[in-house]
Amino acid sequence: MPARQPSKPRARRQTPEARPYHHGDLRRVLIDAALQLAAEGTEVSVREAARRAAVSPGAPFRHFPNRDALMAAVAEEAQRRFRTEIEMALGEAPATDALGRFRAFGLAYLRWAMRNPAHFEIISTGRYFAHGSSAELTRDNAELVALTEQMLTDAAGQGLLRSADVKCIQIAGRALVYGFARMNLDGHLPRWGVEQGEIDRMAEGVIDLFITGIAKH
């Protein structure tokens, strides 16, 4: 953080809160502001993020070529937090029980999605920006895909699955958690008779139903 030089420059602002002309780390602050806007339910706009950072409306474009690039950076940050949650959950699951790990994965997925709906939406929907434009997001996602496939392949190898069609099970599992998370996000759960306080229990019930369904008796 460079200290300002009050000696030379013409006193553009003698008041004690004279901020330096340069912000310091505007890029970071803009991402955080956008994340917070999303978390608040406010629609994310470049100008509003700039406003929160107490900076002119054009300033963000020095750090992001356009709105989509800002949103991509926001999504990358959200995705990082998401992955952290997943990895912590898997770190606590016994490495030997493939199906148990698959279950822990699903629970962590839903847990995070329920608690961070706006961030989950930014990650998941392609509306805010083209997902393919972020190499980090693409890579991260491929790793998660590979991870679930590995867990199911292991489970199949241990003779835990009823069906040998690992890919179909993988897609179905992903669709299940994604669908549940989006139902929550899109406000469908109340309309389907799931009250607020009931959500976490239902998330677990749905996952266990699925695990039971694919497991060999």
- Alpha-carbon distance of 64 to 41, in angstroms, equals 22
C-alpha 29 chain-centroid distance: 18
- Alpha-carbon distance of 170 to 8, in angstroms, equals 65
Query: How crowded is residue 140: how many other Cβ atoms within 10 Å of its Cβ?
Result: 17
The enclosing H or E element of 161 equals none
DSSP letter, residue 61: G
97, 123 in Cβ contact below 8 A? no
Instruction: Give me 202's structure tokens.
Output: 């239902």
Q: Least distance to DNA from the beta carbon of 79, Å?
A: 21
Query: If DSSP codes are grouped into helix, strand and coil, which group holds residue 215?
Result: strand
Is 39 a binding residue for a second copy by CB under 8 A? The answer is no
Is 202 a binding residue for a second copy by CB under 8 A? The answer is yes
Is 112 a binding residue for a second copy by CB under 8 A? The answer is no
Is 212 a binding residue for a second copy by CB under 8 A? The answer is yes
Please choose which of a second copy, DNA, none residue 68 contacts, taking the beta carbon within 5 to 8 angstroms, the exact cut-off set by kind: DNA
Please choose which of DNA, a second copy, none residue 20 contacts, taking the beta carbon within 5 to 8 angstroms, the exact cut-off set by kind: DNA
Q: Least distance to DNA from the beta carbon of 65, Å?
A: 6
Is 41 a binding residue for a second copy by CB under 8 A? The answer is no
Q: How many residues does the chain have?
A: 217
Is 48 a binding residue for a second copy by CB under 8 A? The answer is no
Where along the sequence are the contacts to DNA (CB under 7 A)?
A: 2, 4-5, 9-10, 12, 20-24, 26, 44-48, 55-59, 61-63, 65-68
Where along the sequence are the contacts to a second copy (CB under 8 A)?
A: 124-127, 131, 138, 141-142, 145, 162-163, 165, 167-172, 174-180, 182-183, 186-188, 191-194, 202, 205-206, 209-210, 212-214
